[in-house]
Structure 1
Amino acid sequence: MQFMKRIPSSCPACGEPLRIGRLKCAACETAVEGDFAFPALMQLPPAEQEFVLRFVL
Structure 2
Amino acid sequence: MAQSIRFAQLDNRAIVEGRRQEALDSVAKSNPAMQTEVINVQDPRDIERLDAQCLSKK
Give the TM-score of the pair, scaled to structure 2: 0.29
**As a proportion of its length, which structure holds more strand?**
1
Which of 1 and 2 has greater Rg? 1
**As a proportion of its length, which structure holds more helix?**
2
